[in-house]
Structure 1
Amino acid sequence: MDATRVTRTLLQRWPLPAPDGSSKKDRGRVVVIGGSRGVPGAALLSGDAALRAGAGKLMTFTGAESASTLGVAMPESGMEAVALGDDGELGTLTAGQVDTVRKADAVLVGPGMATGASPAPAQAARVAGAVVADAGSLHADALVPAAGRLVITPHVPEMADLMDLRPDDVSRRGADVAIEAARHFNAVVVLKGPTTWIATPDRTLWVHHVDAPGLGTSGSGDVLAGVLTGLLARGASLPQAALWGVAVHARAGRRLGRRAGRVGFLARELLPVIPRILASLD
């Protein structure tokens, strides 16, 4: 299967939509549903990334135990507290919270959550418009209801679990597996790694290579998922947001690698670089 390389030229020929006005409402509303007792900060990383990518408004749904603390840490976001189950994962969303999800322009579900442990991703998938599914939402119950409105962002082990394959099989047949998953879930697939495969249900395939080992760090995927969601909120199409998100995330990693060292920088240090990368690609 032939794949088109994601390059600066390709991105510049497919420019992101410009906001119609200066209001934050013009750049779209994002809801991030994520975090758990064990990983409360993942939703913060994703939400910050969505705003850095240009989204106008942010609401974060996270565990009741940490919602106030995260709200102070990120005053740009509204906070919705979700009751935690005995396992420390998000419980059921309230009717009001589901209505907030319904009104969002783009919704990210799953950062900082254990796979299949919470009912919230499936609730959100049934009513949301554009959906980015990451980490804890990468299972059929959360993906099938969002078919046709969905971007999924698995790394190799997550894709292996999702498609009932061995990780070695996914690594060896990355392009084919990405296409199979895109068709199976009617979704845009971002199969993450140093070589990232991006596939659509109609078998369109792109590939992006990056030499940035520092991106293989805790929280980096949360940042990528947030960037994708922010671009969707701005009005990008599903595949356009995927291509731009992957490229911006990779370039931010390369830039930090040159500045701070090839490994050892933190995922949160990617965040202030994102607007500069977007501006340089415009």
Structure 2
Amino acid sequence: MSAPQAVTEELLRSMPLPRHQEGEDKDARGRVLLVAGSVEVPGGALLAGLASLRAGAGKLRIATCRSVAVPMAIAVPEARVIGLEETPAGGIAAAEAAGLARRAAEADAVAVGPGMIDAEAAAALTAEMLARSAGSGVPFVLDAAALRALRPGEAPPGFAGRLVLTPHAGEMATLLGTSRDAVLADRLVAARRAAAALQAVVVMKGGCSFIVSPDGRAWSCDRGNVGLATSGSGDTLAGIVAGLLARGAPPVEATLWGVFLHGEAGARLARRQGLVGYLARELLAELPPIMEALAG
């Protein structure tokens, strides 16, 4: 296997994001469906949703637990918020999968997982959504608890090349049916195994993140820093990638851009505020100027 290619400004300029012209409406910039949040962690949905809009998506639907839907709608007035049945543990009930799959068919990108704390319900919900969405052609981003819907080494039917996974080392170990130590021993090999087996674009998150396509091509991005190792940071990454997918970027390119934007936002905050102590929510406002600079 060849060595991973570095994700640089020059590389991204060779794969520009979709351009949006004056006069286009918000539908032309893409629609994101975000299935996320829980009673205890509604902020995961908030961060991922705002990140998708900051990445340029035109419309956002947030599907979350019914008891937090009204506060979420107030906190994110830009979004349409859908209240869903809750589990006793405070997660989204798996029985909502059929309705969510119908809503997914109306979207340009779907993200599932940020802030979902009832892991068993999240896995069942996500698995059923994937099964019902196999023929839709809509790309999905799976993060956090939603990754538990995937069986080790088994690609979801109908999703080859349009699934983006954003695991950390522990989640990668579960995806591969191995140990966390085995993943950390060679993170790039782990990412390549997962991408090939699951036919997905995989982000192996870390200080230097690896991005691997289903055909084995690999990239590395070292723009991140230890400041990104903070609550909510992964939620923002999932939202950024979903927003770029909704705009029309192909899965590999949306993921490369998303990882770079996330890392560069952290780098800019570190230079201004210090390496440790900035917040995941502060990453969001950094995104538009970084995209504008790369488009120039």
TM-score (structure 1 length as normaliser): 0.95
Instruction: Give the CA RMSD over aligned residues.
Output: 1.6
Aligned match of 2:159: 147
Aligned match of 2:236: 223
Cα distance in structure 2, aligned partners of 1:138 and 1:211? 23
Report whether the alignment pairs 1:162 with 2:166: no
C-alpha contact (below 8 Å) 2:57/2:246 kept by paired residues: yes
TM-score (structure 2 length as normaliser): 0.91
Total equivalences in the alignment: 282
List alignment gaps of at least 5 residues for structure 2. Answer: none
- Please, which moves more after superposition, 208-217 or 13-22? 13-22
Counterpart mapping for 1:46-195 below 5 A? 46-91=48-93, 92-93=95-96, 95-114=98-117, 115-118=119-122, 119-126=124-131, 127=133, 129-141=138-150, 144-145=156-157, 147-148=159-160, 149-195=162-208
Cα distance in structure 2, aligned partners of 1:32 and 1:130? 12
Aligned match of 1:11: 12
In structure 2, relative to structure 1, the CA distance for the partners of 1:168 and 1:260 (3 Å cut) is same
Cα distance in structure 2, aligned partners of 1:96 and 1:247? 34
Cα distance in structure 1, aligned partners of 2:236 and 2:263? 11
Q: Residue 178 of structure 2: SS of its match in structure 1?
A: coil
Structure 1 residue 95, shift from structure 2 partner: 4.8
* Paired residue type of 2:106: K
* Paired residue type of 1:246: V
Q: Output one character per residue of 1:43-101: Cα deviation in whole Å (capped at 9) or x when no partner.
A: 11000000000000000000001000010000000011011111111002165443211
In structure 2, relative to structure 1, the CA distance for the partners of 1:51 and 1:90 (3 Å cut) is same
In structure 2, relative to structure 1, the CA distance for the partners of 1:135 and 1:145 (3 Å cut) is farther
* Paired residue type of 1:62: T
Q: Residue 17 of structure 2: SS of its match in structure 1?
A: coil
Q: Output one character per residue of 1:137-173: Cα deviation in whole Å (capped at 9) or x when no partner.
A: 1124487256312000001111112212222221221
Q: Residue 144 of structure 1: SS of its match in structure 2?
A: coil
Q: Residue 183 of structure 1: SS of its match in structure 2?
A: helix
In structure 2, relative to structure 1, the CA distance for the partners of 1:141 and 1:172 (3 Å cut) is closer
Q: Residue 19 of structure 2: SS of its match in structure 1?
A: coil
Q: Output one character per residue of 1:89-136: Cα deviation in whole Å (capped at 9) or x when no partner.
A: 100216544321111000000011133433332233231510000001
Q: Residue 139 of structure 1: SS of its match in structure 2?
A: helix
Cα distance in structure 2, aligned partners of 1:210 and 1:265? 16
- Please, which moves more after superposition, 238-247 or 155-164? 155-164
